[in-house]
Amino acid sequence: MKETKFELAAKIIWDSWQGGKVLSCLPDDLVPNSRSEAYKIQSFYENISEKGVLGWKIAATSKAGQNHIGASGPMAGRILSEKVFSLNEKIDLSNNTMSVAELEFVFEIGKTLKPNDNGYSEEEVMASVQNLYSGIEFPDSRFKNYTDLGEEYLIADNACAHHFVLGSKLPDIWRSIDLSAHAVELRVMDGIKEKGLGSNVLGGPTIALTWLVNELSQNNITLHAGKMVTTGTCTVPLPVKKGDLIIADYGKLGNLEFEL
């Protein structure tokens, strides 16, 4: 069967990703013309990857982030299981052009949410949540000038998903906390730090999760039970380097420590 333009574009991006190289652009006839086409390209990574998908991420959850990359709004990306690291593993940043860490809230989905023409309310989405976890994302792009290419490129580029560290399950008291007003801090041991609030992600992590569910629904994608959704950086991304001990401080909900 002849490969579609979406599959061909995905293979080019995938090969660049696996080779640790960056692209200038895609061939003109493979450039996605809409967000929908970009998600079709992205969908092939799930099949190409040998370990499947842990879940989903949200990129560009703040106006500043959207303006920086020329996006009209947030974007969804797949978290590949082969790019997920445990707390005692090491991440190689040598080919990571961004080299930043992002503190995020990560929801575990306990109930499958299928595409719904009427969309999902925040209450319906939160009723599907089983647990909340800590997490640190180390994003990157497969394109050299990713800030200039537009949102269709970035969605096809898996919303800049790259390495991800899944932390511990946070205590159940999170359900009685207003996560949008919850203060967090991301720091490294040499003293560099960034403070943030849950509201920095589309107004709050639960709002961001609801956006993700409805974005998938509009693109005829099911969010399956057992998948994780990391809802975007709550602080300004923190520059990091090899050897850094990174501390994601969730206040009374706990900490996540990870050494590069």
pLDDT score at 1:
54
Task: Quote the pLDDT of residue 177.
Answer: 97
Domain limits for position 65:
5-259
CATH code for the domain of 204? 3.90.850.10
Question: Strands 163-169 and 129-138, how do they pair?
Answer: antiparallel
Per-residue confidence (pLDDT) for residue 3, from 0 to 100: 83
Count of the separate structural domains present in the chain: 1
Query: What parts of the chain have a pLDDT lower than 50?
Result: none
* Cα–Cα distance, 95 to 97 (Å, whole number): 6
Report the pLDDT value the prediction gives residue 2, as an integer from 0 to 100: 60
